[in-house]
Amino acid sequence: MLDWSALLGDWPEDVPESHNIAPGQMIAGFTLDGGHAMRWGLIPGWSDDTSGKYSTFNARIETVASKPAYRGAWRHANRCLLPALGYYEWQKQPAGKQPYFICSDEKQPILFAGLYEPARNIEIPMSCTMLTCAAREDLASIHPRMPIMFTIEQGKDWLQMDLGQAAEMIRQVTELPIQSYAVSTRVNNASNEGPDLIVPLTS
């Protein structure tokens, strides 16, 4: 596992390293208080529904301040960072959907911008969502949306800035050097795991 503690704080002990995370699973999220285990799929403060029937694992920046599921976390500045080596996206092709792995050019850690809701009891854990925007030009052919991505320095600012500054920050196009490449369709099954899932697909 990467030494995230040197970058952001202690990695939550109950979240294992994974190369194939699906919505509804527990992932590592970082706030000003350090690392926490968070359910990927935000549970709004006014809801006790943990069934996953509502798709709250992504939040569009265009509506994050107004959509009922997210506006409470946004207004209360419940901002977090979701670290990863990259993410998967699927491109529609004649033979079906082809997964791609999208990561930094140098395979360095990426921080995704997120929002969280605190845990309320043992049945309603801390939960989070990932903020998304329109994909930049070099990624749009794979998928029209992309997550908001930060460097370590930008991420630390994201956690501390005021609401106006945060709103401005997520409107800026990420300039991180990004690469994308096709990977095995084994990633389509969430039960498959291992670093081989992010190895480039050979023809």
The domain made up of 24-86+108-135+144-176 has a fold known as: hypothetical protein yedk fold (3.90.1680)
Q: How far apart are CA 164 and CA 169, in angstroms?
A: 9
What is the predicted pLDDT for the residue at 5? 55
**pLDDT by residue (tens digit) across 4-37?**
555 566 778 888 888 999 999 999 999 988 899 9
Q: Domain limits of the chain? A: 24-86+108-135+144-176
**pLDDT by residue (tens digit) across 79-132?**
999 999 899 999 998 988 999 999 988 877 889 999 999 998 888 999 999 999
What is the predicted pLDDT for the residue at 8? 64
> 8 and 35 in contact (C-beta within 8 Å)?
yes
Percent of the chain with pLDDT over 70: 95
Return the higher-pLDDT residue of 3 and 98.
98
